[in-house]
């Protein structure tokens, strides 16, 4: 009898959840073993000796029913207020989808094209081209030159205005469109890696392994990272800083919304024409910007190929290339793009001299800019260096990459006088090991850039041979015709007079300077060449490493190695002072092409409850009278003033 009552009570308490039990009361009976057999899910819990477990809501209601009458009434009223707030609370605009006032005007939707066909290049051996040229980079004639639409200084204003109109229509590139265009960039690199390596070989004799890693693989890794995190990095909003009840804006709701700058200009250099052009483009598209790319014609084959590939693979409303293939030194196209007021942000990579010109032009239009410049990057090899041979190997390798034409290459080495001789000998050994015949194709890269620069380098090489302020340990030759520079190690005797220490070398020249202590090396950096883009430390002592880190300023630091910090997508890459400002790579690059727009929504619906005391206080309205005295008194009482 007791067991039947327990079961009846259980069924009564769970009458609102009977849909969970696939049995009826007629199917329930007691057996001789005093166990209730049931077909439902909870049959294993129900026995005559153990009452069934109550449901969650029945337990709550039983607890409320056990309260005194007054408390039960208060809880009922509070519950009703919560339900009302949930129903009638004003909805915030932060959770709504983005809407554009101006609809898109394009009728035809952009569609990806089939695989790009590389234009044929006529060489001196072919019948179409019989004239003789120096070296194996002979011909300017390409099949694609006849079909390429060159966007020169006259066409640049119309192209920029057309893209600006598209930006006004779409406000920002939708997430789905960004993912589509990033996927197209990845496809572009994957399908044309051989063409990219060929163009870099034609321009600078770049070994194909270096070309593939720097200008194909690293950009592809950046694209994959952006594709993986595109939605995560672009939320509809993010929470603002925790507010305080004493804020004059309370009660309110506040948040931050990502706002792309709009139309971005990317000015790429000639030394890494694909890496340093596509890196900012990836960040800009991920942030929601449209991009205009101006490559350097000092790497003419790469600039033409970049133009052809982006025109073929990318939506022209999102990304275009201007200036590629235009005759001349490129100054006219540079001036043409910088004169355009339509750009919302400018990303420049190049020398400090040109960077100042870009910053000045941007300041005239109040356009924000990011400058990735260069400088003389120091290496500190301390007395407690664990492996001098490895330090020399790393310095020679990092200096000679791309024929020394890299903004993060180690420029000069400050080595302790006790190990200076050993370090110099190891550097000479590794130069001969890495480059036994540097003239052989693909043994190392060739000199690039303007012809005037190569002639100036040949002149400086002759000055170094006759200089008393420095001594050439190995190398020192420059061939203007073949655009070849021999890997060179120089021992600096007088840093103030040495030719190799006048400016950033940007050539395969490694300078070695002897110092008496780590403090002297730090003082040399801060006095002679402060704020480098990169700084390298070879030391096994954590105290020495900390001493250098705390007393120098640089864009980035790498300990017991070189260059690797610039290729790590999880680390922001950028300069400081003379080496530039702003950064890119990963999320830091996305932040360079957008800002977080603060939004505050004032709560007004509570005015019926507080009679305007908080939601629309009279204190902020004139006439003020004695309000200042009242405010100060209230603040003193609450210990806020």
Q: How confident is the model at residue 81 (pLDDT cuts 50, 70, 90)?
A: confident
Q: How confident is the model at residue 567 (pLDDT cuts 50, 70, 90)?
A: confident
Burial track 128-151 (b if 16+ CB lie within 10 A, e otherwise): eeeeeeeeebbbeebebeeebeeb
Would you state the pLDDT for residue 162?
92
The Cα 254–Cα 584 span in angstroms is 28
Q: Between 447 and 147, name the one with better pLDDT.
A: 447
Would you state the pLDDT for residue 233?
95
Instruction: Considering the candidates 385, 403, 407, 427, report the single residue annotated as catalytic.
Output: 407
The Cα 371–Cα 354 span in angstroms is 10
pLDDT of residue 491 exceeding 70: yes
Q: How confident is the model at residue 440 (pLDDT cuts 50, 70, 90)?
A: confident
pLDDT of residue 558 exceeding 60: yes
- Render pLDDT for 273-299 as a digit per residue (tens, 0 to 9): 999 999 999 999 999 999 999 999 999
Please state, as a whole number, how many other Cβ atoms lie within 10 Å of the Cβ of residue 115. Answer: 11
**Which residue is it, tokens 């890693």?**
213
Query: pTM, whole model, 2 decimals?
Result: 0.80
Strand partners, 602: 252
Q: Say which range, 33-47, 148-162, 357-371, 434-448, has the weakest mean pLDDT.
A: 33-47
- Render pLDDT for 320-350 as a digit per residue (tens, 0 to 9): 999 998 887 788 999 999 999 999 999 999 9
Instruction: Considering the candidates 342, 372, 470, 486, report the single residue annotated as catalytic.
Output: 372
Most confident of 2-11, 169-178, 240-249, 611-620: 169-178
Would you state the pLDDT for residue 22?
43
Q: How confident is the model at residue 78 (pLDDT cuts 50, 70, 90)?
A: confident
| Residue 230 annotated to the active site | no
The Cα 97–Cα 261 span in angstroms is 19
Mean pLDDT value across residues 434-458? 88
Strand partners, 597: 257
CB 344 within 8 A of CB 367: yes
Which run of H or of E encompasses 252?
Answer: strand 252-260
Q: Between 69 and 377, name the one with better pLDDT.
A: 377
Instruction: Supply the DSSP symbol for 259.
Output: E
CB 316 within 8 A of CB 292: no
Please state, as a whole number, how many other Cβ atoms lie within 10 Å of the Cβ of residue 205. Answer: 23
Q: Cα(first)–Cα(last) distance of the chain, in Å?
A: 73
Structure tokens at 268: 């790429």
Angle CA 278–282–284, to nearest 5: 115
Phi, psi of 537 (to 5 degrees): -125, 130
Q: How confident is the model at residue 641 (pLDDT cuts 50, 70, 90)?
A: confident
Q: Say which range, 136-145, 388-397, 448-457, has the weakest mean pLDDT.
A: 136-145
- Render pLDDT for 227-270 as a digit per residue (tens, 0 to 9): 999 999 999 988 887 656 566 677 778 889 999 999 999 999 99
The Cα 618–Cα 77 span in angstroms is 32
Give me the numbers of helices (H) and strands (E) for the chain, helices first please. 20, 18
Q: Between 132 and 522, name the one with better pLDDT.
A: 522
The Cα 365–Cα 340 span in angstroms is 9
Strand partners, 266: 293, 347
Q: Between 53 and 209, name the one with better pLDDT.
A: 209
Q: Say which range, 38-42, 199-203, 341-345, has the weakest mean pLDDT.
A: 38-42
Q: How confident is the model at residue 442 (pLDDT cuts 50, 70, 90)?
A: confident
The Cα 481–Cα 83 span in angstroms is 83
Mean pLDDT value across residues 343-365? 94
3-class state of residue 264 by DSSP: strand
pLDDT of residue 224 exceeding 70: yes
Using DSSP bridges, classify how beta strands 252-260 and 238-239 pair: parallel, antiparallel or unpaired: antiparallel
Would you state the pLDDT for residue 338?
94
Would you state the pLDDT for residue 74?
75
| Residue 407 annotated to the active site | yes
Strand partners, 573: 584
CB 472 within 8 A of CB 490: yes
Most confident of 96-105, 122-131, 526-535: 526-535
Most confident of 6-10, 25-29, 219-223, 482-486: 219-223
pLDDT of residue 523 exceeding 90: yes
pLDDT of residue 29 exceeding 50: no
Contacts of 427 (CB under 8 A, 6+ apart): 392, 395, 396, 473, 489, 510, 512
Mean pLDDT value across residues 412-423? 95
The dihedral built from the CA positions of residue 141, 144, 146 and 151, taken in this order, carries a sign that is: negative
Which parts of 15-155 fold into alpha helices (H)?
56-65, 69-88
């Amino acid at each position: 009898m007791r067991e039947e009552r327990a079961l009846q009570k259980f069924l009564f308490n769970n009458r609102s959840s009977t849909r969970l039990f696939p049995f009826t009361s007629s199917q329930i009976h007691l057996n001789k073993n005093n166990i209730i057999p049931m077909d439902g899910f909870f049959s294993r819990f129900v026995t005559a000796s153990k009452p069934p477990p109550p449901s969650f809501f029945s337990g709550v209601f039983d607890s409320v029913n056990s309260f005194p009458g007054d408390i039960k009434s208060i809880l009922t009223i509070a519950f009703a207020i919560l339900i009302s707030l949930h129903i009638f609370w004003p909805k915030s605009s932060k959770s709504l989808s983005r809407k554009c006032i101006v609809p898109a005007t394009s009728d035809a939707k952009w569609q990806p094209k089939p695989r790009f066909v590389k234009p044929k290049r006529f060489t001196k051996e072919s019948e179409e081209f019989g004239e003789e040229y120096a070296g194996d980079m002979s011909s300017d004639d390409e099949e694609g030159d006849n079909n390429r639409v060159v966007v020169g200084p006259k066409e640049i204003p119309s192209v920029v205005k057309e893209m600006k109109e598209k930006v006004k229509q779409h406000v920002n590139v939708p997430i789905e469109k960004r993912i589509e265009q990033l996927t197209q960039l990845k496809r572009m690199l994957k399908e044309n890696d051989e063409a990219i390596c060929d163009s870099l070989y034609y321009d600078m004799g770049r070994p194909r392994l270096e070309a593939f890693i720097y200008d194909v693989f690293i950009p592809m890794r950046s694209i994959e990272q952006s594709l993986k995190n595109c939605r995560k990095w672009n939320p509809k909003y993010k929470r603002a800083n925790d507010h305080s009840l004493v804020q004059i804006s309370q009660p309110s709701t506040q948040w931050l919304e990502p706002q792309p700058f709009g139309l971005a200009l990317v000015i790429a250099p000639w030394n890494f024409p694909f890496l340093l052009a596509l890196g900012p483009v990836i960040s800009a598209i991920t942030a929601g910007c449209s991009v205009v790319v101006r490559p350097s014609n000092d790497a003419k084959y790469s600039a033409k190929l970049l133009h052809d590939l982006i025109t073929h693979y990318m939506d022209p409303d999102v990304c275009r290339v201007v200036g590629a293939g235009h005759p001349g030194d490129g100054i006219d196209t540079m001036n043409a793009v910088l004169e355009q007021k339509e750009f919302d942000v400018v990303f420049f990579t190049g020398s400090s001299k040109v960077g100042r010109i870009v910053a000045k032009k941007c300041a005239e239009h109040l356009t924000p800019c990011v400058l990735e410049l260069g400088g003389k990057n120091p290496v500190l090899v301390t007395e407690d260096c664990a492996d001098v041979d490895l330090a020399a190997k790393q310095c020679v390798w990092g200096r000679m990459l791309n024929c020394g034409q890299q903004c993060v290459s180690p420029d000069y080495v400050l080595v302790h006088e006790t190990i200076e001789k050993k370090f110099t000998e190891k550097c000479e050994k590794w130069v001969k090991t890495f480059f036994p015949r540097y003239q052989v194709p693909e043994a190392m890269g060739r000199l690039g850039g303007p012809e005037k620069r190569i002639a100036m380098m040949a002149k400086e090489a002759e000055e170094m041979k006759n200089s008393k302020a420095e001594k050439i340990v190995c190398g020192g030759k420059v061939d203007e015709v073949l655009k070849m520079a021999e890997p060179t190690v120089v021992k600096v005797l007088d840093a103030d007079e040495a030719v190799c220490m006048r400016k950033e070398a940007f050539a395969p020249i490694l300078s070695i300077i002897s110092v008496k202590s780590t403090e002297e090396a730090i003082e040399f950096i801060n006095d002679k060449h402060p704020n480098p883009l990169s700084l390298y430390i070879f030391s096994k002592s954590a105290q020495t490493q900390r001493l250098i880190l705390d007393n120098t300023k640089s864009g980035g630091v790498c300990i017991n190695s070189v260059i690797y910090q610039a290729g790590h997508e999880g680390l922001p890459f950028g300069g400081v002072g003379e080496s530039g400002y702003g950064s890119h790579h990963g999320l830091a690059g996305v932040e360079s092409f957008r800002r977080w727009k603060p939004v505050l929504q004032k709560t007004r619906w509570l005015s019926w409850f507080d009679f305007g005391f908080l939601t629309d206080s009279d204190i902020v309205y004139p006439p003020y009278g004695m309000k200042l005295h009242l405010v100060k008194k209230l603040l003193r009482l609450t210990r806020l003033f």
